[in-house]
């Protein structure tokens, strides 16, 4: 008798199989993107997709093996797939358990810039009544440290936060003192235009490992047009500040964000070149948001979503070419999405979280003591819409804030897993729900997805990334971005 | 009925083959461009698609075809959802089993 069983014992021509939960979305005519419940994905033509669902797929085909390996089906050999999917999903959902990690302190509304696209209703720089006080800051810190998150990031925003520098120093000192007992992973970021940065500021930042996040919209003329200030030297000050801050704090401690205005639309390559020239390792190509001054000055309505997508796609193509020419440079939004698509990690980017990250991913303590579910919610309130006010440091307990109906209703109603169209969408595991955007643009937390700019923009970006991913050279570049988020 | 901008067209489905839910979901997906009125008459699901008056050169056959594809897709999605309901519950239960959310 042979030691081995015959080969036929191992190769069952047409095994019965069961489907695992998955969704599909058309990429183009006859081509579909499939994702399983934990976000694992593949691309299939319509015929094998129908064969899969109708149990007509041959178990000896390569497609069968691929779909089994990627947990779209299971058979007698692979019922461990259920446990694996559960484990993957648990890993993806883990950050929800950590709860709020980002705590934004609006230390002042004052600003010496007068940017027409500003999403905040800034105040002139002499009105100290728009400054946060120490009493408010102390109460906000108490709430921040009630969060169970092992990571607490305190971000100072404005206005221009450096205009209330004494309070930043106070908050950092208080937070460090509280953290002597709490032992959290505590980080600080100042979101500043850098126009007012001094050696004193940088010395303090160096001492306390504070990072800088600044704005850079592109070449000098574009940046100065977008970001007017007395002296018309916003760009010069920003660049000088970036170089100075890097010198004192290190390259990685300084990041920049750009905002797309109508003046940016035909200049994506110049904008990217500017970031490369200044030694940044990536750029976040961002559209304007429908809040604050951007609405009042009509900056938001100067281009539509389709035009921004052209801008984005051209930028992405250009960045891929830069990489293929040997210079590593990342498009940050793509990198965030790719990290969600290709790893079990959830980068925790609030706009791409479902349940929505408002409140539970980031929370905002306003200069006047009001607490907002998100920075965008704060911007809406400055325009008179208090939908996302979830408490006040003077009167609300931690429990009041995080069980506020204004927070819970928005999160529950907007949950993409049960929203119309999102619940069927194969990109849903990699996307998010944005109740603030949909409330601002369509009047409710869920929105009408077929006409939602958020949905259209993200769907197009997912599709363009998947398309690039089918090109071997592009795929190598895109994969290299994943770890950099 | 004239097929063109401002008018409407009817696409019918057999309710023995497609669920009303699958048709509704497909209609929702098209709602950025077209309004769809759905009526069930005997074993037919009749969908009246209103063609917007402000759009010129509508390819009516393409509208019908894309709606039929959407309904077929919705039908496939329902088949997946029905077949995998138990697995979905098992996976979600496992995913949430160690979160500490539930109290004794």
A141-167 per-position pLDDT tens digit: 999 999 999 999 999 999 999 999 999
Cα A274 to Cα A329: distance, rounded to the nearest angstrom = 12
Question: How distant is the Cα of A55 from the closest Cα of chain B, in angstroms?
Answer: 11
B92–A89 C-beta distance less than 8 A: yes
B90–A82 C-beta distance less than 8 A: yes
- Give the mean pLDDT of B18-30: 96
Residues 6+ apart with CB under 8 A from B37: B47, B48, B50
State how far the alpha carbon of A205 is from the alpha carbons of A109, A173, A179, A253, A331, in Å: 21, 12, 17, 10, 27
Residue A452 pLDDT greater than 60, yes or no: yes
Interface test mutation site (partner A, options B17, B52, B95, B97, max chain A beta carbons within 10 A): B95
- Give the mean pLDDT of A173-190: 98
Chain A residues within an 8 Å CB radius of B83: 18-19
B65 reaches A (C-beta below 8 A)? no
The confidence score (pLDDT) of residue A94 equals: 83
pLDDT digits (tens, 9 = 90+) for A272-307: 999 999 999 999 999 988 876 666 777 777 788 999
The confidence score (pLDDT) of residue B52 equals: 84
Residue A198 pLDDT greater than 70, yes or no: yes
Mean pLDDT over each residue of chain A, to the nearest integer: 92
Confidence of residue A315 (pLDDT cuts 50, 70, 90): very high
- Give the mean pLDDT of A96-101: 88
Nearest chain B Cα to A25, which residue? B73
Lowest-confidence segment of A35-44, A92-101, A297-306, A365-374 by average pLDDT = A297-306
Which of A82, A90, A450 lies nearest to residue B98, judging by beta carbons?
A90
Cα B104 to Cα A214: distance, rounded to the nearest angstrom = 47
The DSSP code sequence of A1-56 is --SS--GGGT--TT---EEPSEEEEEEETTEEEEEETTS-EEEEEHHHHHHHHTT-
The confidence score (pLDDT) of residue A125 equals: 65
The confidence score (pLDDT) of residue A345 equals: 85
Nearest chain B Cα to A89, which residue? B95
Place of tokens 């980031």: A362
Mean pLDDT over each residue of chain B, to the nearest integer: 87
The larger pLDDT score, comparing residue A182 to residue A93, is at: A182
Confidence of residue B104 (pLDDT cuts 50, 70, 90): very low
B73–A421 C-beta distance less than 8 A: no
Confidence of residue A401 (pLDDT cuts 50, 70, 90): very high
**What DSSP element (H or E) covers A256?**
strand A254-257
The confidence score (pLDDT) of residue B54 equals: 74
- The percentage of chain A sitting over the pLDDT mark of 90, rounded to a whole number, equals 81
Nearest chain A Cα to B76, which residue? A53
Residue B1 pLDDT greater than 50, yes or no: no
Chain A residues within an 8 Å CB radius of B24: none
Lowest-confidence segment of A234-243, A307-316, A360-369, B95-104 by average pLDDT = B95-104
Question: How distant is the Cα of A21 from the closest Cα of chain B, in angstroms?
Answer: 5
Determine contact, residues A224/A234, Cβ cutoff 8 Å.
yes
Confidence of residue A122 (pLDDT cuts 50, 70, 90): low
Which of B76, B94, B95 lies nearest to residue A53, judging by beta carbons?
B76
Which of A22, A86, A424 lies nearest to residue B94, judging by beta carbons?
A86
- Give the mean pLDDT of A409-429: 93
A86–B79 C-beta distance less than 8 A: no
Q: In chain B, what are the helix, strand and coil shares in percent, each to the nearest 5?
A: 45, 20, 35
The confidence score (pLDDT) of residue A426 equals: 98
CB-side exposure of B7: number of CA atoms within 13 Å? 11
Residue A485 pLDDT greater than 70, yes or no: no
Pairing of strands A210-215, A330-331: unpaired
Which of A20, A50, A93 lies nearest to residue B76, judging by beta carbons?
A50
Which of B30, B93, B95 lies nearest to residue A93, judging by beta carbons?
B95
Which of A21, A421, A450 lies nearest to residue B91, judging by beta carbons?
A21
B64 reaches A (C-beta below 8 A)? no
Tokens representing A413?
């109603």
Confidence of residue A474 (pLDDT cuts 50, 70, 90): very high
Which of A20, A49, A50 lies nearest to residue B87, judging by beta carbons?
A20
Q: Is the pTM of this model over 0.95?
A: no
Place of tokens 């007698």: A76
Residue of A330, A368, A318, A372 lying closest to A350 (CA atoms): A372
Chain A residues within an 8 Å CB radius of B101: 97
Residue B6 pLDDT greater than 80, yes or no: no
State how far the alpha carbon of A306 is from the alpha carbons of A435, A448, A461, in Å: 21, 17, 11
Residue B100 pLDDT greater than 60, yes or no: no
Chain B residues within an 8 Å CB radius of A54: 79
Question: How distant is the Cα of A5 from the closest Cα of chain B, in angstroms?
Answer: 33
The confidence score (pLDDT) of residue A236 equals: 97
Q: What phi-psi label fits residue A259: left (phi over 0), alpha (psi between -120 and 50 degrees) or beta?
A: beta
Chain B residues within an 8 Å CB radius of A89: 91-92, 94-95
Residue A19 pLDDT greater than 70, yes or no: yes
Tokens representing A138?
């102390």
| Number of cross-chain residue pairs from A and B with Cβ atoms under 8 Å apart | 79
Residue A105, φ and ψ in degrees, nearest 5: -105, 115
Confidence of residue A13 (pLDDT cuts 50, 70, 90): low
Lowest-confidence segment of A79-88, A214-223, A410-419 by average pLDDT = A79-88
The confidence score (pLDDT) of residue B98 equals: 61
B87–A21 C-beta distance less than 8 A: yes
Tokens representing A328?
């590593």
The confidence score (pLDDT) of residue B57 equals: 77
């Amino acid at each position: 008798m042979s030691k081995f069983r015959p080969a036929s014992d191992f190769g069952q021509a047409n095994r019965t199989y069961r489907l695992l939960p998955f969704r599909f979305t058309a990429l183009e005519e006859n081509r579909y993107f499939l994702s399983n419940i934990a976000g694992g994905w593949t691309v299939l033509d319509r015929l094998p997709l129908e064969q899969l669902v109708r149990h007509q797929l041959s178990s000896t085909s390569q497609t069968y093996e691929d779909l089994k390996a990627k947990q779209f089906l299971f058979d007698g050999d692979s019922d461990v797939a259920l446990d694996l999917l559960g484990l993957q999903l648990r890993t993806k959902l883990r950050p929800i358990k950590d709860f709020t990690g980002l705590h934004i302190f609006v230390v002042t509304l004052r600003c010496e810039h007068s940017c027409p696209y500003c999403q905040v209703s800034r105040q002139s720089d002499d009105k100290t009544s728009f400054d946060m006080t120490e009493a408010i800051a102390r109460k906000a810190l108490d709430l921040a440290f009630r969060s169970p998150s092992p990571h607490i990031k305190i971000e100072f925003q404005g206005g221009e936060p450096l205009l209330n520098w004494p309070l930043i120093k106070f908050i950092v000192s208080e937070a460090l003192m509280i953290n002597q007992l709490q032992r959290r992973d505590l980080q600080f970021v100042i979101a500043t235009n850098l126009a007012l940065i001094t050696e004193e500021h940088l010395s303090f930042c160096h001492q306390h490992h504070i990072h800088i996040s600044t704005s850079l919209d592109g070449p000098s003329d574009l940046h100065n047009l977008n970001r007017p200030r007395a002296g018309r030297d916003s760009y010069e000050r920003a660049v000088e500040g970036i170089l100075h801050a890097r010198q004192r704090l290190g390259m990685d401690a300084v990041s920049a964000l750009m905002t797309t205005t109508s003046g940016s639309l035909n200049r994506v390559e110049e904008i990217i070149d500017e970031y490369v020239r200044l030694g940044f390792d990536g750029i976040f190509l961002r559209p304007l948001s429908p809040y604050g001054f951007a609405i009042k000055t009509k900056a938001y309505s100067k281009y539509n979503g389709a035009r921004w997508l052209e801008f984005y796609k051209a930028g992405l193509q250009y960045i891929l070419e830069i990489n293929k020419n040997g210079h590593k440079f990342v498009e940050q939004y793509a990198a965030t999405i790719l990290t969600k698509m290709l790893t079990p990690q959830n980068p925790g980017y609030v706009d791409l979280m479902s349940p929505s990250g408002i409140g539970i991913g980031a929370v905002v303590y306003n200069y006047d003591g009001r607490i907002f579910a998100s920075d965008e919610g704060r911007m809406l309130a400055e325009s008179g819409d208090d939908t996302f006010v979830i408490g006040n440091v003077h009167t609300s307990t931690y429990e009041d804030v995080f069980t506020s109906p204004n927070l819970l209703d928005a999160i529950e109603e907007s949950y993409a897993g049960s929203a119309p169209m999102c619940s069927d969408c194969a990109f849903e595991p990699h996307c998010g729900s944005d109740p603030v955007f949909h409330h601002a643009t369509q009047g409710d937390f869920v929105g009408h997805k077929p006409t939602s700019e958020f949905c259209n923009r993200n769907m197009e970006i997912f599709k363009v990334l998947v398309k690039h991913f089918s090109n071997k050279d592009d795929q190598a570049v895109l994969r290299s971005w994943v770890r950099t988020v | 009925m004239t097929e063109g901008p401002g008018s409407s067209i009817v696409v019918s489905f057999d309710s023995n083959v497609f669920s009303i839910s699958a048709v509704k979901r497909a209609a929702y997906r098209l709602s950025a461009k077209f309004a769809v009125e759905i009526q069930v008459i005997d074993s037919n699901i009749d969908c009246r698609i209103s063609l917007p008056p402000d759009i010129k050169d509508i390819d009516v056959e393409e509208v019908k075809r894309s709606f039929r594809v959407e309904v077929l897709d919705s039908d496939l999605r329902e088949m997946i959802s029905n077949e995998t309901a138990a697995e979905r519950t098992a996976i979600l239960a496992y995913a949430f089993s160690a979160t500490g959310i539930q109290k004794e």
